[in-house]
Each structure stands twice: as structure tokens, then as C-alpha cells.
Amino acid sequence: MIVKNPKFEISAVSPKQYPKNELPQIVLVGKSNVGKSSFINTMINRKSLARTSSEPGKTRQINFYNIDEKFYFVDLPGYGYSKMSKNEQEKVGEFIEQYLFSCKKISLIIFLIDIRHSPTNNDRIMYNYIIKSGLPFIILANKADKIAPTKVLDETKKLQKEINPIGDAIMLPFSSLKKNYSEDIWEKIREICDIQ
């Protein structure tokens, strides 16, 4: 998919600040430093529209990126950063849950998990949130460039068995460095969200 005019639109810290238009929202969730911002930049072929942070857990707001006035990529705060206090982690969890259950414009949730590691307890909590929401979702086994190309498919299947043992979720590998995975994901986005 060719993206012509993506733009960062707003950082929201409360529901009152969510965009008021009717554009569908494609939401990115995952633990801190899993690569949500890099995913956005790769998918729209830009280097730095979505701001990546060298300090995991730094983002405390919801970032909305308007993609050609067709839809939003919505970057939620990462969860599970060990240097955050328990109180801070709870606040981030409540913030994410509030958005997922109050926003009526979500068309798709993209759940990123690190392909190199088993799902964390926080990943499993997020997976349960997503299931409870009843919204369409796909799971991405991210950072596929960090393992041998011959192992990507097997590791993706292994990860799916751990997080989605009944195998009814769409799960795809992804790498912000190897853009050959991007078109498969665009195909799913277009199919699920009816975006051209």
C-alpha cells in the first residue's frame, strides 16, 4: 500500500481528546520496547513519523497518526516496563483498558509480541483484554530479523501455540528491517477494515 500523506495528529491523555471524526482506528498494543512505533514507520515507509524512544516505558499517552485521511494508526502506551512502579504500571493498564472499552471507532487491534521470547504474564493479560473486547485482531511476531530466516515460520507457530493455543487468530511475522512482511499485513488490514 502506498501512503502519501501520513501525519501525527494528536497525543491524547483522556477520552475527551480522542479524534472526533469517523475514521476507523487501527490500534497497536504490546509491551514497552516491542516496536510499535517502528511498525508504524515501516508500514508507511517513513523514518520518523512515529517517535521511537530509547527509554522503554516513556510513552504515557495515546498517539494518533492520520494515514491519508483514511484511517488512524493508534499507538497505545507500552506495558510491563520493569522500572515503572507498580502504581504507574496499574495506571498505564487502566489507561489502555479505558481506551479499548470506550472507543467506538476501533476497527482492528494489532498485538505485537517479541518473536524471541515466550509471552509474558502481561502479554497474556493483554490477550485476554483483546478477547473480551470482541474486536477483530491480528498478532504479529515482531523482530523477526533477530532470528535466522529459516526459523521465522517455526517460531511464529510456536508463539501462536503459547498465546493462542486453539489457533483461531491470524498470526504473522514482522520486522521493521525486513519490509517483505509488510504487504501481507497491509493485505489483512485492507481485508478486515475495508480500507483501499
Low-confidence ranges of the chain (pLDDT < 50): 54, 57
pLDDT for res 47: 80
What pLDDT is attached to residue 75? 93
The reported pTM is 0.91
CATH code of 6-193, in short, is 3.40.50.300
SS3 at position 72: strand
Beta bridge partners of 71: 67
Q: Show the CA angle centred on residue 16, arms to residues 56 and 131, nearest 5°.
A: 60
Distance between CA atoms of residues 168 and 122, nearest Å: 21
Amino acid residing at 136: P
Torsion of CA 94, 100, 101, 103, to 10 degrees: 120
Taking the domains of the chain in order of start, what are their residue ranges? 6-193
The per-residue pLDDT for 81 is 63
> Hey, is 16 helix, strand or coil?
helix
- Gap between the Cα atoms of 107 and 72, Å rounded: 10
DSSP type of residue 88: H
Whole-number pLDDT of residue 121: 92
Rg of the Cα atoms in the chain: 16
Closest listed residue to residue 60, CA positions, set 48, 74, 81, 76: 76
Contact indicator for 39, 84 with CB cutoff of 8 Å: no
Of 104, 141, 129, which is closest to residue 18 (Cα–Cα)? 104
Q: Is 71 exposed, middle or buried (0-12, 13-18, 19+ CB in 10 A)?
A: buried
Of 161, 154, 160, give the one whose Cα is nearest residue 139.
Answer: 160
**DSSP secondary structure string, 16-66?**
GGS--S---EEEEE-BTTSSHHHHHHHHTT-SSSSPP-SSTT---SEEEEE
Q: What is the pLDDT of residue 66?
A: 95
